[in-house]
Chain A
Amino acid sequence: MLIKIAKPSDARESDVTPREIFLNRRSFMAAAAAASGTTLLPAFANDARAALGDVTTNSKYAVPEMPTTFKAATTHNNFYEFGTGKMDPAENAHTLKPRPWSVEIAGHAAKTGTFDLDDILKPHALEERIYRLRCVEAWSMVIPWVGFPLADLIKRFEPTSKAKYVAFETLVDTEQMPLQTRPTLPWPYVEGLRMDEAMNPLTFLSVGIYGEELPNQNGAPIRLVVPWKYGFKSIKSIVKISFVEEQPSTTWNQQAPHEYGFYSNVNPEVDHPRWGQDRERRITGETGFKALFAPKVETLMFNGYADEVAQLYQGMDLRKNF
């Protein structure tokens, strides 16, 4: 396992967000004020994001590895609504307006309707969890997310017994997402989870990273985080959550059904047709030689979350249900 040890040379990079700083938003603000400048602010926080208020650290969800730097996590993104290049979203996502934002709750539930995001968020206490993020493209990051369990939200809307799956939809708006005029993918981007997956305590709705509100390129203002599945399952900029009876259609599965299944659980034993999945390039924030020659990290079953989720798939052929 790769454990990154911070070296003195790392400290001079202003893009590195020291762990103790992002773990405590208040001291971060104080430190930033004391520095009476923006030198401590992450490079991409240039639009003065609002503080997230009280965030408690949920130490149950931590990983031994050092988190990826804020800069890496916000400049290396897959968000095809803003371009297919990894650096495109950071460059193009400024057109997204994360407020005002409404989310529609639909389908088999006692309470449905369209709600303002802030009303949806109000009852939820925010917590921080550090999760591994494994992209299907064989790279990975370690990210401190801020948010709350999806299960807490689901319970509030009281899904009925017919709700076997939860379907999610990303915004479609050619003004906020101008590249949606191109047919890169069928828009809107859609994703889905089985109800028991959605209710698993690991499944998280995130509104922030590194103690900050989510940058646009990371899926502002609200996104899903399902750490034991490949990253594309963690849909960004959600505008609709529906409780449905049938397995919902998912974007990458439509695009290439033999490559991307509905489940898409991280599984080192099942190759992607175009590459192996048993190893991953850990994106730490290092660049140049260090990144080029960093030994790869072994990919873990369910991305290291087997204890929490393996029981969800008991008796299932994970090779068939990839």
Chain B
Amino acid sequence: MNTKTQRRIFKPLVFVASLGPLAWIVWAIYSDSVFGTHILGVDPIMNINRELGDWALIFIVITLALRPAAELTKFREFTAYRRMMGLYAFFYAVTHVATYVMIDLEGIYSLSRAGSLFVDDIIKRKFITVGIIALILLIPLAITSTKGMVKRLGGRAWQRLHWLVYPISLLVVFHFYMMIRADFSRPIIYGAIIVALLAYRYWVKWQRDNKRKARASAAKTA
């Protein structure tokens, strides 16, 4: 099977699978409502918000891991899914905030009240400030994720802009860390994974630079 057919089959599959967490939440709400199950429990507002936030972070980590995965496994196809995974991270982050404003802050009953409460939150609550900064910084990345935008910006400028995903991901982890008061293990694990992925990228770059230098000096002496 050539790469093109592979992509034609797997891309839609990955696309649909990535909607899984959202579909699962919708299913759980339905099941709890209709079948009396307790999947999301008696406080679904909190559980849904946590769940969506978790998935935004998971998709960020997947996005960051794809290139190292491609290099380490020599399965280059992984890199073809970076844009999709990145956009899913953005999608889950937006859903995380939208459900917070619409349900937790009761935007469905009064959008203006929820809006002003949310502005209050952003100003007063540092973990929300950090979270919203991360989301805002993701917007230019999401907008410039198309092939056309890569061309328009030029490879180097585009890469420099999209390198921002590393500091953004650490902001997201910090947002997660700041809202916890006991048992910090999860944000610490996510943070460690992201730092490891970043270190790997620098290590690869350092090796490449060394090789280039060695080649250059070899050419000089020859």
B31, B32, B42, B179: the one contacting A283 at CB < 8 Å is: B42
Q: Which of B37-61 contact A (CB under 8 A)?
A: 37-38, 40-46, 48
Which residues from A are CB-within-8-Å of B30?
288
Given contacts A84-B182, A275-B125, A293-B108, contact A286 B103 (CB under 8 A): no
Check A283 against B43 for contact (C-beta < 8 Å): yes
Give the residues from 93 to 129 in chain A that come closer than 8 angstroms, CB to CB, to chain B. none
The answer to whether A288 and B103 have CB atoms under 8 Å apart is no
The interface residues of chain A lying within 8 Å CB-to-CB of B183 are 84, 182, 184
In the bound complex, residues from chain A placing their C-beta under 8 Å from that of B181 are 252, 255-256, 259
**A292 and B127 form a contact (CB under 8 A):** no
CB neighbours (8 Å) of B106 from chain A are 295-296
| Distance of A181 from chain B, by nearest CB (Å) | 13
- A276: interface (CB < 8 Å): yes
- Mark out the residues of chain B between 136 and 183 whose CB falls within 8 Å of any chain A CB in the assembled complex: 179, 181-183
Q: Is B109 an interface residue when CB atoms closer than 8 A count as contact?
A: yes
Whether A287 sits at the interface, judged by CB under 8 Å, is: yes
Q: How many A-B residue pairs have CB under 8 A?
A: 80
Whether A240 sits at the interface, judged by CB under 8 Å, is no
Q: What residue in chain B is nearest A76 (Cβ atoms)?
A: B42
Q: Give the distance to chain A from B143, nearest Cβ to Cβ, in Å.
A: 31
With contact pairs A283-B42, A291-B42 given, residues A255 and B182 touching in the complex (Cβ less than 8 Å): yes
Q: Count of B residues near A, CB < 8 Å?
A: 31
A-chain residues with CB within 8 Å of residue B43 when the two chains form the complex: 76, 86, 139, 281, 283, 291
Are B125's CB and A185's CB within 8 A?
no
Could you tell me the distance between the alpha carbons of A18 and B29 in the complex, rounded to whole angstroms?
Answer: 25
Chain B residues with CB under 8 Å of A60's CB are: none
**What's the nearest-Cβ distance from chain A to residue B197, in Å?**
27
**Interface residue? A64 (CB, 8 A):** no
Check A76 against B182 for contact (C-beta < 8 Å).
Answer: no
Of A184, A273, A292, A295, the contact of B182 (CB 8 Å cutoff): A184
Cβ of A76: which chain B residues have Cβ within 8 Å of it?
A: 41-43
Residue on A with the closest CB to B38? A287
Using Cβ atoms and an 8 Å threshold, which residues of chain A touch B32? 287-288, 291
Kindly provide the distance from the CB of A91 to the nearest chain B CB, expressed in whole angstroms. Answer: 12
A80 within 8 A of B: yes
Given A274-B125, A274-B127, A283-B43, A289 contacting B182 (CB threshold 8 A)? no
In Å, the complex CA distance between A292 and B48 comes to 9
| A290 on interface, CB distance cutoff 8 Å | yes
Q: State whether A287 touches B182 (Cβ < 8 A).
A: no
- The A interface is mostly helix, strand or loop, or mixed, namely loop
Bound Cα distance A149, B127 (Å): 40
Please tell me if the beta carbons of A13 and B44 are within 8 angstroms of each other in the complex: no
Least distance between B51 CB and chain A CB atoms (Å): 12
Closest chain-A Cβ to B195's Cβ sits at a distance in Å of 23
- How many angstroms from the CA of A295 to the CA of B32 in the assembled complex? 18
Q: Are A273 and B125 in contact (CB under 8 A)?
A: yes
Give the residue among A259, A283, A292 with the most B Cβ atoms within 10 A.
A292
Q: Which residues 247-272 of A have a CB within 8 angstroms of B?
A: 252, 255-256, 259, 271
B36 within 8 A of partner (CB)? yes
- CA A185 to CA B183, docked complex, whole Å: 8
> B117 near A: Cβ within 8 Å?
yes
Q: Return the chain A residue nearest B47 by Cβ.
A: A86
Q: Is B33 an interface residue (CB 8 A)?
A: yes
Residue of B nearest to A137 (CB): B46
Residues of A within 8 A of B121 (CB): 275
The answer to whether A87 has its CB under 8 Å from any CB of chain B is yes
What residues of chain B lie closer than 8 Å to A295, measured between beta carbons? Answer: 106, 109
Interface pair A72/B42, CB less than 8 Å apart: yes
Does B13 belong to the interface (CB within 8 Å)? Answer: no
CB proximity of A187 to chain B, nearest CB, Å? 12
How distant is B185 from chain A, measured CB to nearest CB, in Å?
A: 9
Q: Tell whether A56 is near chain B: CB-to-CB under 8 Å.
A: no
A164 to B222, CA, bound (A): 88
Q: CB within 8 Å of A: which of B80-136?
A: 103, 106, 108-109, 117, 120-121, 124-125, 127
CB-defined A-B contacts under 8 Å, sample of 21: A71-B38, A75-B41, A76-B41, A76-B42, A182-B183, A184-B183, A275-B121, A281-B46, A283-B42, A283-B43, A287-B32, A287-B36, A287-B40, A288-B29, A288-B31, A288-B34, A288-B40, A291-B32, A292-B45, A292-B48, A295-B106
Which 7 pairs across A and B sit closest by C-beta, in order of nearness? A288-B33, A288-B32, A287-B32, A72-B42, A289-B33, A184-B183, A283-B42
Q: A291-B32, A293-B103 are in contact. List 8 more A-B contacts (CB 8 A).
A: A76-B41, A76-B42, A76-B43, A273-B125, A274-B127, A287-B32, A288-B40, A291-B45
